A and B are shown apart, each in its own frame.
Chain A
């Protein structure tokens, strides 16, 4: 008996995508916050890309100063609630909790963080006071975690900020990519509304910047521009059969699941190709949407997967099966996907070699390619003097996030090649401070 059936109602969706880190109630938060040791120079803080003073906010929760706790969090990370839910805490703050060394359950830092931030969002609490405008204007391209963090920080520094977003909704992959059992769209958008209320920046939606003319226009009207453009579509594999119906990119598939889960149809047997966290999400989500069988195929051994161990475990718990050391050579079918052909591999000296004559087919009606995303080099080439690395990531000064065109700063996936929400949030914020230093230097 399968765990999940194809959902037909909103209620089914809620059940299929039950939150793995639901909000704590005040009693839970009290007991959990009581356990924190208040470590000296706490390892959890060092493990957090945004350096949130975790022992402090936990102590604030424990003493009934939940607003103060939220302020502590937002002082370091504008995506406090979202990060509390979607951060890979197992390998960040909670993984660093000293309790692990005595096999004591680490403090549930992520959930405590969401408890505090959700409280101020829900009660529409005002935590920040803005300085008068400093007379300078910054344009931000991309309303993802990097762009929005940058916008919030710039507003705190007195800049006027406008954000240009190609899509209909803000927060980028937080809404279009994060697994629905980690955070709900409602939570994501609520935090965004709260942030806009606090910091008062403009976001222009459905406003794609794509021409040299538009770019010239921005350059003329703004003192600086931040690029938080993220990544593009799923990278093509260059194998026959990719164009068959029901062979889809993971990014596109997940976006569909996130925005319109009831209209997302997965087949009965799904093959997901890839070994990163996106592959795990696509596989998990397929299973939760009622696929009878979901097979994950990765070209190297299991240990080499880019995905976190707990993400693979999560996928397995939803019924996903893993096949390792195999690469696709063709998607088979006639108009529609009917299967995928793989060849076994051997990894020698880090290089993947195909084993001749070891081809095998897996019958399936859906193939999801989780083979990475394209870089936005086409867009980048429109900006004068802007350079990118061999892998397509924007070249920046590692400390200042300034690009090779001094008017432009950049952060997030477009710079780091694709990381977590928390990394983008950290980079956007830091970039804002450096823009301020650059624009307001004596």
Chain B
């Protein structure tokens, strides 16, 4: 059996699956239940001076029959007194000494930071996570993402915390910034032991068409919220990768954003995360999803021959390059498996209207489209819209012997430089005459 044990900057947990600081970690009851279900760690709902929340707090994007592919909240940090939370942290640690309990923190002054770090350490927290990410409400008060967006302030507060902390310090980053590696590097500079990302993305999740107000509606009005859920995973993955590759960051990463199953988790790990944190999926399906996550991860590791997480953490990083380093001689072309094709012709209309007019219809009563190979640029679109498993595949056509990148092109003066350059990639590529569009 592969070993799922995780170690984030010295914080150990039986597996890499933590609950992110959010409603599922609002109380000892929930965290205890989660550990009992199989979760490896939990970042407690952010502690600080307790808040007062609005009624009506969440909104969501549903895509057709799928609920909550994107999720948004305007809830603030904990609204429970600190003493209650500390007592419950202590109790959880008594029952689960080998599970990771991290205290997420958000306060204002140096004095408050020092005090609260000591308090949570006394309660038995295995680490602290500084919430510099919350993009709604708290940032209006100079906390949360307001800190995460100012690398120098972030660094200063990290230093304050490190002055007193004896447990590992994680800095949680906001994605509401142009270049995530700047605050990540500032956290490292301030002495953080790890970073976690991403926090939620500033968002308006939708608008009530009858009442002319965004969701979630609070007495006819609303405010921007923080966006999360499956839809944000691509943004999170990119930011995790950016931090993992950046030489000035160099500290472990706890990956957060759109993780709902073992695959999502493995993706985060392959791009450099040491462990992962989950919130929305639990808010949707409950703690029980951990069974699928653990079983899927174990199965994957077994199949790949990985014995421990370190065997594959960051394994995809060498394959993430800048665009200029991609091989321009690589060539794939779509292939339709006529046996599997159901004749929906979504590939045809997608290619025709949305890509390169490289698919034709037979016009003989059959509904099975054909690829016009000389027009196919290998964009993948048809294979992405195809509703049948493994029906349209992208087949490699080059012999693999040539390797030339944009960088090489530039160096060899083979790249187009004029507006009407003969070296243009699409020169001579067949496109129909504009008026042909009206003849159909």
Contact = CB atoms under 8 A, between A and B. Distances in A.
Interface string B343-381: 111101100000000000000000100000000000000
A101 B343 CA distance: 8
Contacts of B341: 101
Contacts of A101: 341-343
B63 to A, nearest CB: 9
Contacts of B343: 39, 43, 98, 101
B340 interface: yes
A60 interface: no
B304 interface: no
A205 interface: no
A30 B65 contact: yes
A102 B65 contact: no
B427 interface: no
B416 interface: no
Given A30-B65, A102-B340, A40 B388 contact: no
Contact of A35 (B65, B340, B342, B388): B65
Given A37-B387, A40-B348, A43-B367, A98 B342 contact: yes
Nearest to B353: A40
A40 B64 contact: no
Given A102-B340, A102-B388, A41 B345 contact: yes
B387 to A, nearest CB: 6
A379 interface: no
A62 interface: yes
A43 B361 CA distance: 14
Contact of B346 (A31, A35, A37, A62): A37
B310 to A, nearest CB: 42
Most buried by B among A34, A35, A43, A101: A101
Contacts of B64: 34, 62
A150 B344 CA distance: 33
Contacts of A35: 65
Contacts of B387: 37
Interface in B41-66: 64-66
Most buried by B among A40, A43, A101: A40
Interface residues of B, number: 15
Interface string B312-351: 0000000000000000000000000000111111101100
**Which bracket fits the contact residues of A?**
10 to 19
A360 interface: no
Contacts of B344: 37, 39-40, 98
Nearest to B386: A37
Contact of A40 (B65, B340, B342, B345): B345
A102 B339 CA distance: 10
A23 interface: no
Interface string B377-400: 000000000011000000000000
Contacts of A39: 343-346
A442 B396 CA distance: 62
Interface in A116-145: none
A99 interface: yes
A102 B345 contact: no
Contacts of B65: 30-31, 34-35
A62 B66 CA distance: 12
Interface string A280-295: 0000000000000000
A99 B340 CA distance: 11
A423 B112 CA distance: 79
Contacts of A438: none
Interface string A86-105: 00000000000011111000
A5 interface: no
A101 B367 CA distance: 11
A62 B64 CA distance: 7
A310 interface: no
Nearest to A32: B65
Contacts of A99: 342
B206 to A, nearest CB: 13
A39 B388 CA distance: 13
A30 B367 CA distance: 28
Interface of B: 64-66, 340-346, 348-349, 367, 387-388
6 A-B pairs with least C-beta separation: A34-B65, A40-B345, A34-B64, A101-B342, A40-B349, A98-B342
Interface of A: 30-31, 34-35, 37-41, 43, 62, 98-102
27 contacts: A30-B65, A31-B65, A34-B64, A34-B65, A34-B66, A37-B344, A38-B346, A39-B344, A39-B345, A39-B346, A40-B344, A40-B345, A40-B346, A40-B348, A40-B349, A41-B345, A43-B343, A43-B367, A98-B342, A98-B344, A98-B367, A99-B342, A100-B342, A101-B341, A101-B342, A101-B343, A102-B388
Given A34-B66, A40-B346, 5 more contacts: A30-B65, A43-B343, A62-B64, A98-B342, A101-B342
